[in-house]
Copies of this chain bind each other. A is one copy, B any other.
């Protein structure tokens, strides 16, 4: 094999160690070389070598030296937050939300700009993205040369034989529009879809610290899952893995906004939860609340109240039943170690949903797959889509700097 071209090289192995060390430093905030070795399973010698290279390249720094237990001083390591900035942009059908982060993924400033969901013109959306990015730079007062990279999460991003494309009801962007986007941004750019961004955040900043297989489920208007198997984000043949929100819950059931019937999303997406309430109590005052976020907040308040609102409580119970049933399908197929919940329905209703949804999930999981399976509200707060896509951009900047070899499969 000596000298022959093979697809996985010793550079990849070195890169894997580097990712492990970065992961350990990033998740700990401040840590020591010994602690990194313990957490990653790498040898002490490897950690010393890798940390040395990351320090030489300005990626991590020694923050202070403390007296060790046996009197020998121990250096603390942390991410070098002075190295630059990274931007994560969460682009949805109705808004662009941008967050600027330091290199330890601490959010520094956030900007949101709404746009009309019937907007079909890619140029206007590209311009809205560009404007949010410009505003972030101005508000933080940072020069363009301190931005290491920009990540953009685009809904409906898929992989095609000819490259990537964005396909959502009102948008159909192919290479021309994506090239235009790249020019407008003018920074090293990665794009991916929100489920992949969200699970990248969980992988780097949340439960991925300790579980090698997991799913992160987003609950909002739409619902979906990001899946990590053996430490890698599952993408699938067309970057569409994790579209659990459009798997079947009820054969020939409710009409989903995707046009099919009985999808999970038609029951546990916010419009689905509202429909459940209407089925139970057509005249309930919450049945007509127009804004989805208001509906969810008010439902959470009404269901938490021990007093009178039986219909609100029953709506939450049925939603938990639907959620637990649908999660069990995810368990049956991929058998993860842990499932976390994220998204704004989770922030409002998670504590009410988790106990009974978790019970139903474990009961419905085949064999012993549910026995030691945890269902948890994600510890990653803020905007996990923006943090996740920024994390992917940061990873890409390390690849471009020659430190990592990980390929980011879907990116301009």
Contacts and interface: CB of A to CB of B under 8 A. Distances in A.
Interface of A: 1-10, 12-14, 16-17, 41-43, 45-46, 49-50, 156, 158, 160, 167, 213, 225, 227, 229-230, 232, 234-251, 253, 258, 260, 322, 325-326, 328-330, 332-337, 363-364, 366-369, 371-373
Contact of A326 (B17, B41, B248, B249): B248
A195 to B, nearest CB: 11
A6 B236 contact: no
B229 A332 contact: no
B43 A6 contact: yes
A335 B260 contact: no
A259 B205 CA distance: 39
Nearest to A265: B366
Given A13-B8, A258-B366, A334 B332 contact: no
A213 B333 CA distance: 14
Given A248-B364, A328-B248, A369 B42 contact: no
Contacts of A368: 158, 160, 167, 238, 240
16 contacts: A1-B49, A1-B50, A5-B45, A229-B234, A235-B335, A236-B334, A237-B337, A238-B369, A240-B366, A243-B332, A243-B367, A244-B333, A249-B251, A250-B251, A329-B329, A330-B333
Contacts of A158: 367-368
A325 B248 contact: yes
How many copies the complex holds: the figure is 2
Nearest to A214: B237
A238 B367 contact: yes
A10 B7 contact: no
A37 to B, nearest CB: 10
Nearest to A160: B368
Given A9-B13, A49-B1, A325 B251 contact: yes
Contact of A248 (B8, B246, B248, B373): B248
Contacts of A49: 1-2, 4
Given A13-B9, A235-B335, A242-B333, A43 B367 contact: no
B243 A335 contact: yes
A364 B240 contact: no
Nearest to A253: B251
A258 B49 CA distance: 52
Contacts of A322: 251
Contacts of A364: 248, 260
A297 to B, nearest CB: 28
A333 B227 contact: yes
A17 B330 CA distance: 33
Closest 10 CB pairs of A and B: A236-B335, A246-B366, A4-B46, A247-B329, A240-B369, A243-B366, A241-B335, A247-B332, A5-B43, A4-B45
Contacts of A260: 363-364
A177 to B, nearest CB: 17
A239 B368 CA distance: 9
A329 B243 CA distance: 9
A16 B8 contact: yes
Nearest to A251: B250
B4 A246 contact: no
A329 B229 contact: no
A237 B334 CA distance: 8
